[in-house]
């Protein structure tokens, strides 16, 4: 399916150096903010108090969040738990008080706003649990990266594997850079979004790489730059359809999903936008600079004998 078909190839690789220079500056800025400001970690990573509160009717999450904020407790996560009457509240640890005192203060404020509020359970999440979650998250990220590299190396060629993983890590670091710069809360849903972006971004790279390999087989007279430009141009319509539909869904979560899904959808939005950019301009350009050739992608294939009487021979197969 195509919305439109471009008749002439767009010379993307002609501007590869400039576009990748911009990408490098953005990447270095993200790394700088990660080291200078760091991530604003949520309760799951830093430890804090978890409360489950029940109501006699559907709970107003915005009102509950405002009530807790009025107590001076910041970065509170409020979400439904199981049913619309059950609410889960996560709060960071407060200095000068215990988890029990904090939960009693919050419960008293909630009862003042709605007498039907009753405490179902309260737990304290220690920093040790947070450290374990952070370690497990980094392990998951490492496994995803290694898995993607092995897949691309087997399906295509090691140069494509290196190019794709650099482009994908570029997306991940930029997402983290945004969260560090604006000090948005980094939680487990955001970590899940980062891992999702890795898989989503590599999909676009695979489509372009597959078209590059196909073009190497079909067009014998084109050089590598022309092959890559043709591959990217011929997949533009598919890219617009796929990423446009995905972005509409993610934007709907961002705008209408409430505070619980806000940062999750925000991370996906940034990842999708930069994923398109990196797949087209970063991954393909790096593969070109690594010296990808026709021989790299069609190893072991029996080459067709040249027939001087066939006018199509040497042009296309």
**DSSP letter string over the chain?**
--S---SS---GGGGHHHHHHHHHHHHHHHHHHHHHT--EE-HHHH-EEEEEEE-SS---HHHHHHHHHTTT--S-EEEEESEEEEEEEEEE--TTS-HHHHHHHHHHHHHHH-TT-EEEEEEEE-HHHHHHHHHHHHHHHHHHHHHHHHHHHHHS-HHHHHHHHHHHHHHHHHHHHHHHHHT-EE-HHHHHHHHHHHHHHHHHHHHHHHHHHHHHHHBSS--HHHHHHHHHHHTHHHHHHHHHHHHHHHHHHHHHSHHHHHHHHHHHHHHHHHHHHIIIIIIHHHHHHTT--HHHHSTTPPPPPP-TT-TTTTTB-
Q: What confidence score (pLDDT) does residue 1 get?
A: 54
Q: Which fold has domain 12-39+129-297?
A: Multidrug efflux transporter AcrB transmembrane fold (1.20.1640)
Q: Where are the domains of the chain?
A: 12-39+129-297, 48-125
Q: What confidence score (pLDDT) does residue 161 get?
A: 83
- Local confidence pLDDT in tens for the 317 residues of the chain: 556 677 788 888 988 899 899 999 999 999 999 999 988 888 777 778 888 899 989 888 889 999 998 888 877 888 887 788 889 888 887 776 677 788 888 999 999 998 889 988 888 876 665 677 778 877 887 887 788 778 877 877 788 888 888 888 888 899 999 999 998 988 888 988 988 888 788 888 888 888 888 888 888 888 889 999 999 998 888 888 888 889 999 999 999 887 778 899 999 999 988 888 888 888 889 989 988 887 776 654 444 444 444 444 544 43
Q: For domain 48-125, which CATH number applies: 3.40.50.300, 3.40.1350.10, 3.30.420.340, 3.30.70.3400?
A: 3.30.70.3400
- Rounded to whole angstroms, the Cα distance separating 18 from 14 reads 9
Q: What confidence score (pLDDT) does residue 304 get?
A: 44
**CA distances for 211 relative to 15, 205, 222, 231, 233, angstroms:** 20, 10, 14, 5, 10
Q: What confidence score (pLDDT) does residue 34 get?
A: 93
pTM over 0.75: yes
Q: What confidence score (pLDDT) does residue 150 get?
A: 83
């Amino acid at each position: 399916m195509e919305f439109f078909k471009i008749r002439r190839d767009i010379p993307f690789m002609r501007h590869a150096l400039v576009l990748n220079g911009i990408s490098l500056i953005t990447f270095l800025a993200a790394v700088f903010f990660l080291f200078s400001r760091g991530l604003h970690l949520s309760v799951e990573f830093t430890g804090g108090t978890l409360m489950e509160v029940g109501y006699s009717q559907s709970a107003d999450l915005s009102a509950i969040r405002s009530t807790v904020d009025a107590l001076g407790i910041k970065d509170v996560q409020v979400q439904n738990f199981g049913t619309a009457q059950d609410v889960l509240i996560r709060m960071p640890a407060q200095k000068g008080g215990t988890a029990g005192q904090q939960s009693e203060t919050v419960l008293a404020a909630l009862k003042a706003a709605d007498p039907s509020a009753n405490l179902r359970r309260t737990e304290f999440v220690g920093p040790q649990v947070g450290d374990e979650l952070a370690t497990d998250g980094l392990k998951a990220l490492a496994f995803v990266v290694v898995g993607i590299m092995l897949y691309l190396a087997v399906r295509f060629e090691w140069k494509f594997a290196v190019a794709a993983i650099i482009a994908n890590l570029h997306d991940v670091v930029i997402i983290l850079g945004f969260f560090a710069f604006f000090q948005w809360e980094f939680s487990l849903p955001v970590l899940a979004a980062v891992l999702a972006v890795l898989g989503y971004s590599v999909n676009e790279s695979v489509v372009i790489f597959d078209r590059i390999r196909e073009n190497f087989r079909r067009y014998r007279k084109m050089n590598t730059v022309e092959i890559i430009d043709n591959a990217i141009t011929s997949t533009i319509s598919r890219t617009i359809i796929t990423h446009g539909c995905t972005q509409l869904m993610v934007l709907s979560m961002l705008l209408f999903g409430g505070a619980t899904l806000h940062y999750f959808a925000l991370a996906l939005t940034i990842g999708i936008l930069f994923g398109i950019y990196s797949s087209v301009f970063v991954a393909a350009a790096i593969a070109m600079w690594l010296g990808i050739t026709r021989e790299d992608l069609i190893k072991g294939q029996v080459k067709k004998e040249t027939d001087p009487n066939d006018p199509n021979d040497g042009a296309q197969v």
